[in-house]
Structure 1
């Protein structure tokens, strides 16, 4: 179910109203059933994959806590193998076969066959969230959850099920057990976040997507400019993904459940290092805590560890060499910044250079293959732009420019604090502007959020 769909506009108020109407002891049942329904709106049978890993990790957590010595590690490994195994089969099997077939082709041997599998929505997200639970139990940072229903809800909770943020058990599990009474101010703040996220998605991201998608589908068309497509996608993916996160955090906030912040205005960063402290923060900290530090962190082989993390992050995003190259670019620039102490630069030049690097790296993220990405970058010397292009009107460009200016204004203190501090007339004017923009400029039914594919 998409956050920008009519179905969700019906689903959300019904579930929320029932949540506050039901006694506390039944609320977890409602949220679990609603979450299953939410997920099954995509491909119903794939809910069985989640249930499979939920049962394994639930019992693994208890066995880890009850065991000592090597048995604890054995149960952790069994849990991780189950989770990574499911991810490997559905997401990486055909990628693996692709690369094997290249080698077989060179030697003249028969090609291996592919499996016709559809990647379950958000598989990488809930796999990493499940893994964080068993790792935290193994490290002694969190007690094993004895209630199967609450643990299942931790994995299945619908606001962040398919595109994060990737939660930790310490942050969210206990919140399901606390009675949250309806709070008007909190609910209003949650709805503001949801509305702002919807604005980012349907007004900014989806309008820019029309131009970007056409460009990548018609490479070489003279009236479609590479530089425009490159930077429009940079804004598109930010508004698409952070818009989803805003809606997820807002929907959960209405019910009194606080989720991890996932974005902190990354395009106002002055280095790639700073960018990754502000972009997809729940994934960045996941890799820091569960891969970078165990590899040795800053203590030994620091730069190698950084590069491994970003190569892995690229592969996490997709089974394609374009994603690996995207991760390698970010890793290489972090190493350069650390080597030459470039992280300390805070001027406008550093900000612009950071955004150029990020935008060019996004080309590999967006392109279907490496050759296409290189073609787009090589073609960026063409600066001709068709101002009369029907896929991107001047009013959308103006709205996008005003949006980025507003993002800069709120980047220091955050959306809600700045908005709520405005005088009533200015605040209500902002409400009307956002709602009117959604109604008259929004593109509904334009497709799912970009990060659903991961």
Structure 2
């Protein structure tokens, strides 16, 4: 077991150091602080020293949050202050601040570390006494860059003792190849069209506006779920079972259902560590709504240091609020197709805020979606992308966004044909990828 853990830990260190050794040192510092805080909190977990434990918890969380604020949000906060001062004073204000590069996957590993110390404080998990095993939990490279966010309680037993079977390795490799194919074929094809439309900065008709928004809707799903599939697959190869992060979110018939199916590890994190501790829905209707808005405000902030992400979070919070007021009950009584259309339209419009460079661009884009203008289809940059390959990938993307693939895989396929299919798919993906420009996963920057 020591050998297995050492291999994964060394691979994780090498993998993360590719993004910069100085950020690796930053991550080591966070690991050390939270490791010793966890040990200290656990040592007095059954004593009467509740005050000391709370102080240690607050200290660890402050260090984690401060790290996140400095590297991810400080530039945004400073630019916002500059804008406020400029508006009030009438003169240009420019505060001198060094530009800090964003450590890769900072939001994901920070939330994992925070969940660990909170769970130790609650007595839900025993503190990890081996710092190398704790580092392995934090740095496990298959899912470190873009999730899923893994709780310590989900993998602690496998860190201590796990076995890898041929069946797990086979399932892991297949899952990895499917995630790889999602990214290379579907996400990239949809992304090319989305980039072409959004690059027009509002100079397009209603049909193109919807085409670009739908393309991005599919791109971000296959990009992110593809990464999650690859992480889950690699985890299986190494003997770890990571939780599912997606469950066909675009078949949802409400926004509440969408958030039970989309980025499940983040949704459950906010539910367990923010919504429920704030009182959840146990302290009256007003308090429930406040808690709900707080969660979605934080969800928007978590995704990025820009106003459009905050608006995106509050936008989803608004519809969660409306559904709790009574729309949710109405959606259960009407034909399900109405709920599906409603949820999909709301989600597609929301992704425009997520993709646009700023709020004014997003608002202008959404106006074009509902302007009902159907002139000027001869936009060369869009027409060039609207080819046979894109149309085929669009059809595949729409079909696979529904649980059809799950039903297909229930049928027995001869093992030789299955192996050959996965091998060909992977080989084609490598060949296709070699002809593409650099196109990283979207959620890596979060």
Q: Same fold (TM over 0.5)?
A: yes
1:422 aligns with 412
2:264 aligns with 281
Q: Is the 8 A contact 1:137 1:143 kept in 2?
A: yes
Q: Is the 8 A contact 1:252 1:259 kept in 2?
A: yes
Q: Is the 8 A contact 1:154 1:169 kept in 2?
A: yes
Q: Distance in 1 between matches of 2:142 and 2:298?
A: 26
- The unaligned stretches of length 5 or more in structure 2 are none
Is residue 393 from structure 1 mapped to residue 370 from structure 2 by the alignment?
Answer: no
Q: Is the 8 A contact 2:12 2:140 kept in 1?
A: yes
Is residue 212 from structure 1 mapped to residue 191 from structure 2 by the alignment?
Answer: no
Q: Is the 8 A contact 1:122 1:163 kept in 2?
A: yes
Q: Is the 8 A contact 2:248 2:403 kept in 1?
A: no
RMSD over aligned Cα atoms: 2.2
Q: Distance in 1 between matches of 2:191 and 2:154?
A: 34
Q: Is the 8 A contact 2:105 2:146 kept in 1?
A: yes
Q: Is the 8 A contact 2:189 2:393 kept in 1?
A: no
Is residue 449 from structure 1 mapped to residue 444 from structure 2 by the alignment?
Answer: no
In structure 2, do the counterparts of structure 1 residues 441 and 356 end up closer, same or farther at CA, with 3 Å as the change threshold? farther
Out of 31, 38, 46, the position equivalent to 2:23 is 46
2:82 aligns with 101
Out of 218, 223, 233, the position equivalent to 1:240 is 223
1:127 aligns with 110
2:337 aligns with 348
In structure 2, do the counterparts of structure 1 residues 248 and 342 end up closer, same or farther at CA, with 3 Å as the change threshold? farther
344-353 or 132-141, larger mean C-alpha shift: 344-353
Q: Distance in 2 between matches of 1:208 and 1:197?
A: 15
1:296 aligns with 279
1:15 aligns with none
Q: Distance in 2 between matches of 1:394 and 1:348?
A: 29
Is residue 79 from structure 1 mapped to residue 60 from structure 2 by the alignment?
Answer: yes
1:327 aligns with 313
Q: Is the 8 A contact 1:233 1:362 kept in 2?
A: yes
In structure 2, do the counterparts of structure 1 residues 348 and 192 end up closer, same or farther at CA, with 3 Å as the change threshold? same
Q: Distance in 1 between matches of 2:132 and 2:310?
A: 37
In the TM superposition, 1:27-46 aligns within 5 A as: 27-46=4-23
In the TM superposition, 1:178-197 aligns within 5 A as: 178-181=161-164, 183-197=165-179
172-181 or 240-249, larger mean C-alpha shift: 172-181
Q: Is the 8 A contact 2:246 2:263 kept in 1?
A: yes
Report SS of the residue matched to 2:155: helix
* Offset, 1:383: 4.3
Out of 343, 348, 359, the position equivalent to 1:359 is 348
1:154 aligns with 137
Q: Distance in 2 between matches of 1:396 and 1:351?
A: 25
301-310 or 222-231, larger mean C-alpha shift: 222-231
Out of 280, 290, 302, the position equivalent to 1:316 is 302
Q: Is the 8 A contact 2:204 2:368 kept in 1?
A: no
46-55 or 206-215, larger mean C-alpha shift: 206-215
Q: Distance in 1 between matches of 2:423 and 2:144?
A: 31
Q: Summarize deviations over 1:357-396 as a string: whole Å, max 9, x none.
A: 0010000011110001011111123446569822242232
Q: Summarize deviations over 1:95-149 as a string: whole Å, max 9, x none.
A: 1111111221133275322321001011000000000000000001001100000
- The unaligned stretches of length 5 or more in structure 1 are 1-23
Out of 237, 246, 249, the position equivalent to 1:263 is 246
2:181 aligns with 199
Q: Distance in 2 between matches of 1:107 and 1:282?
A: 42
Report SS of the residue matched to 1:378: helix
Q: Distance in 1 between matches of 2:204 and 2:427?
A: 34
In structure 2, do the counterparts of structure 1 residues 254 and 343 end up closer, same or farther at CA, with 3 Å as the change threshold? farther
Out of 264, 267, 272, the position equivalent to 2:255 is 272
Q: Distance in 2 between matches of 1:447 and 1:239?
A: 13
2:323 aligns with 337
Q: Summarize deviations over 1:47-99 as a string: whole Å, max 9, x none.
A: 11110110000000011112321100000000000000000001111111111
* Offset, 1:188: 1.4
TM-score, scaled relative to structure 2: 0.90
In structure 2, do the counterparts of structure 1 residues 148 and 428 end up closer, same or farther at CA, with 3 Å as the change threshold? closer
Q: Distance in 2 between matches of 1:315 and 1:435?
A: 36
Aligned residue-pair number: 426
Q: Distance in 2 between matches of 1:240 and 1:100?
A: 34
